[in-house]
Structure 1
Amino acid sequence: MHNIDTDSEDELPSGWEQKSTEDGNVYFINTCTNKTQWTHPRTGRKKEIPKELPFGWTKSVDDEDKPVYIQKETGNKTYVDPRLAFATDAKEHVHDFRQRFDASSTAFQVLHGVDLSGKYALVTGSNAGIGYETAKSLARHGCNVLFANRNMESTQQAIQTIVQETKASEDDLKSIHLDLTSLQSVKKCAAAIKTVFSDHLDIVILNAGVFGLPYTETEDNIETTCQVNHVSHTYLAILLEPLLKKGSRVIFVSSESHRFADLKNVFTLQNIAMPKDAYSSMMAYNNSKLYNVITAKVLSEEWRSKGIYVNSLHPGNMVYTNLSKSWWLFRLAFFVVRPFTKSMQQAAATTVYAATAAELEGVTGLYFNNCFYCEESAMARDKNIAHELFAMTLKIVAARVGAEGLQKYLDKYTTTKPLSKDETSNESEKTATKE
């Protein structure tokens, strides 16, 4: 088992004990002198414990009205608050937290002791691969999970497998149809989600994606990789805004590939997708992953005042999933490096960490890798690129399915009318003619 407390300085000196108050504060007592204090006797730092009991625990009182904690599965009782096992340093700044996990950590380890009962999560691309492992990990800890996928048969099979493996309640796992190659499907899905989770969504994980596709266009006349990985997910996130409340988290699953994006054949053509005559499947993927990081940063600023936290992340390099199924050579390459890459559980760890870690409360607009934040590429931090990308994305969506749910962002980010389908699809030809 991965040791989440890796700093020996956190060990208490001899004769000291760590205790909690009724309202959940941590204090320290010297059993020899009966001296008490709020700060750790070795580090001098205050400690915090989770607001909720660890998963599988409940609280009661004994005959003398003293609090007693009961482990549901075994029935074991203790007077020691089990939350103390998960105490962390109190943060002086929102980004003041230490790395508890790394590349070898699994999603199950990240969620150790975390109780997600009563939480509601949406995961796209959750019938297979990393998305499936993410959904399974959340469900294992009591989360209500909505599986948003195109293939409903495989989704139902995935749900049944998770119920069998995790003892999760089938009533807590639901499916909904979502085809990211269709903006109408996204619109319809968002409306349906609002009927399933009429009150709120705690977690939105935008995980689905495609990789290595030859040049194709969707029914919306948008290059497929760009639409599936970026446009549709951006549209879905915005449409779900009414369900997001203070403390909700939105996660864009991006990739380190975003560092290799090249926009010289994109923004010069006033479009966000690579044109057919300059198309590269790898570059289309890289660009779409850059767009994920940028969009997360834009929405993090838009929703910061509401207490909605938006972050992006890299799950792992060349993880062996169905993502590489588009071409036999990609499939072979992923297979060859499989022994040296992350397992599915390890690949889901950073997503689960960003979605649930207590120390990330209030943290927004960051990019995570190996369960810790790191600096994005320079292009991902370029506010001019971000503004232009977001504006063009909004116009492209509005031209196809209308401005419902988008108008306030259109008013802010655009000064011209949305591009029509003809304008968008013929943009490359118009530019070439002018040249």
Structure 2
Amino acid sequence: MMAMPDSDSEDELPPGWEERATDDGVVCYVNQQSKTSQWTHPRTGRSKRITGDLPLGWEKYYDEHSKRFMFHNKETQQRTNVDPRLAFAVEEPTQNIAQVRQRFDSCSTALQVLHGKDLHGRLALITGANCGIGFETARSLALHGCEIILACRNRSSAESAIDRIAQERPAARSRCRFIPLDLASLRAVQQFVRDIKESNISHIDYLILNAGVFALPYTKTVDGLETTFQVSHLSHFHLTLQLEALFDYKTRIVVLSSESHRFANLPLENLSVNHLSPPPEKYWSMMAYNNAKLCNVLFAQELAQRWKQRGISVFSVHPGNMVSTDLSRNYWFYRLLFAIVRPFTKSLQQAAATTIYCATANELTGLSGLYFNNCFFCESSKLSKCSTLQENLWQVSENLIQEFLAEQRQ
């Protein structure tokens, strides 16, 4: 570890470092030379948080032009994006999941989790936001001032979703926009990324990888891969890495998985494309789903490790068991089964709660690589914690993307 230069004060920042504060009052330390960030002081290893009211004469407001919160001194007319309380931030214990008190449970709704929050100035990109849990996630965030990008295949369905949100909160219409995304095509993913970058979007606060498929008959995408694997994992993998420049220490990435990941059968070692995208004779729709959901947890945990020094939080979540969504639309047996258990499962609002909690809860600042169920941390499967499998999945996914890019260049 690189030694820090001598200083008269251990609290003095080393050259090239600066303090910043999130809108939630947590202090982050940014190294301008290495472009990394962390939640602990580079000298002391301790965390800080801003507390108390603004100094006399200061006010906080949201600036529509810069799309950020600003501070105004009414006496001197000074305006700044730096919280004037930053110099007086107080030390607090380094965040640990064991210190987090459970505030919500399986009965909590997304709107209850967001009660009292002002999300103006935040931007969420949600895949599959036009229906089901994705829609409830988008709706809940939009009703609290968040800007929403609905990343979906179907324009009319996405526009209908925006209309439904606007019926509740007319002002939310201007904060919601549809950008087409077909996860069954890597070329479409790349076009989506180009559309995002051409939309003058400079930062994404919440990347919510919500879209997925379930109980599909054996089909291949235009890229020649089994559909469940590509839609639920590989395209999200590619999308996330392509958008990396739009993430920083204020970003949270939430990957929707499922308790079904516990029943996956991926090998601990020597993972290959054939395990992830099997031939027709080795395909079973339920196991394809289980394996895709395991991929979601593996990806989230490996990404959390790789981006740890950037201060980006990555979580995977289980929304609920057999929630009544469009996910079961592909097979009559599952439609019947979902209909039978509907009275005993979560509502869509309840199912969106854990996603919303992981994206917005203040107490999760500085934490990453965790798996959540019912708005609280729980242990994921033993297989999902295998570092070898995490690295192997990353390598196989990366190789598939490189093969696709090589074919494009030919």
TM-score (norm 2): 0.76
Letter paired with 1:93: Q
Q: Deviation digits for residues 198-225 of structure 1, max 9, x if unmatched?
A: 3111110000000000111000000000
1:165 aligns with 2:181: no
Task: Tell me how far 1:363 sits from its aligned partner.
Answer: 1.1
Task: Tell me how far 1:94 sits from its aligned partner.
Answer: 3.4
Q: Secondary structure at the match of 1:196?
A: coil
- Within 2, Cα distance between the matches of 1:123 and 1:303? 20
Out of 265, 283, 286, the residue aligned to residue 282 of structure 1 is 286
1:216 aligns with 2:219: yes
Question: What residue number does 1:433 align with?
Answer: none
Q: Is the 8 A contact 2:119 2:141 kept in 1?
A: yes
- Within 1, Cα distance between the matches of 2:196 and 2:244? 12
Do the aligned partners of residues 258 and 49 (structure 1) sit closer, same or farther apart at CA in structure 2, a change above 3 Å counting?
farther
1:206 aligns with 2:209: yes
Q: Secondary structure at the match of 1:137?
A: helix
Q: Secondary structure at the match of 1:228?
A: helix
- Within 2, Cα distance between the matches of 1:186 and 1:339? 37
After the TM superposition, which segments of 4 or more aligned residues of structure 1 sit over 3 Å from their partners? 46-55, 58-61, 264-271
Question: What residue number does 1:357 align with?
Answer: 361
Question: What residue number does 2:128 align with?
Answer: 125
- Within 2, Cα distance between the matches of 1:279 and 1:101? 38
Do the aligned partners of residues 203 and 269 (structure 1) sit closer, same or farther apart at CA in structure 2, a change above 3 Å counting?
closer
Out of 87, 95, 108, the residue aligned to residue 93 of structure 1 is 95
- Within 1, Cα distance between the matches of 2:273 and 2:213? 23
Out of 177, 181, 186, the residue aligned to residue 183 of structure 1 is 186
Out of 195, 198, 219, the residue aligned to residue 192 of structure 1 is 195
- Within 1, Cα distance between the matches of 2:261 and 2:103? 25
Question: What residue number does 1:146 align with?
Answer: 149
- Within 2, Cα distance between the matches of 1:176 and 1:115? 25
Question: What residue number does 2:325 align with?
Answer: 321
Question: What residue number does 1:299 align with?
Answer: 303
- Matches of residues 250-261 of structure 1 in structure 2 within 5 Å? 250-261=253-264
Task: Tell me how far 1:171 sits from its aligned partner.
Answer: 1.5
Q: Which structure 1 segments of 5+ residues have no match? A: 1-22, 26-45, 62-89, 405-419, 421-435
Counting matched residue pairs gives 336
Do the aligned partners of residues 93 and 223 (structure 1) sit closer, same or farther apart at CA in structure 2, a change above 3 Å counting?
same
Out of 103, 110, 116, the residue aligned to residue 107 of structure 1 is 110
- Within 1, Cα distance between the matches of 2:178 and 2:404? 26
- Within 1, Cα distance between the matches of 2:273 and 2:362? 41
- Within 1, Cα distance between the matches of 2:283 and 2:25? 56
Question: What residue number does 1:383 align with?
Answer: 387
Question: What residue number does 1:4 align with?
Answer: none
CA RMSD of aligned residues (A): 3.1
Q: Which structure 2 segments of 5+ residues have no match? A: 1-23, 27-48, 63-68, 73-91
Task: Tell me how far 1:269 sits from its aligned partner.
Answer: 5.0
Q: Secondary structure at the match of 2:121?
A: coil
Do the aligned partners of residues 59 and 332 (structure 1) sit closer, same or farther apart at CA in structure 2, a change above 3 Å counting?
same
- Within 2, Cα distance between the matches of 1:262 and 1:237? 25
Q: Is the 8 A contact 1:53 1:115 kept in 2?
A: no
Q: Which of 1 and 2 has higher RCO (CA within 8 Å, sep 6+)?
A: 2
- Within 1, Cα distance between the matches of 2:52 and 2:203? 25
- Within 2, Cα distance between the matches of 1:265 and 1:47? 44
Identity of aligned residues (%): 48
- Within 1, Cα distance between the matches of 2:53 and 2:364? 12
1:244 aligns with 2:247: yes
Task: Tell me how far 1:276 sits from its aligned partner.
Answer: 1.8
Larger radius of gyration: 1
Q: Deviation digits for residues 306-360 of structure 1, max 9, x if unmatched?
A: 1111110000000011000000000000000000000000000000000111111
Task: Tell me how far 1:401 sits from its aligned partner.
Answer: 2.7
Q: Secondary structure at the match of 1:176?
A: strand
Q: Secondary structure at the match of 2:151?
A: strand
Task: Tell me how far 1:101 sits from its aligned partner.
Answer: 0.2
Do the aligned partners of residues 388 and 159 (structure 1) sit closer, same or farther apart at CA in structure 2, a change above 3 Å counting?
same
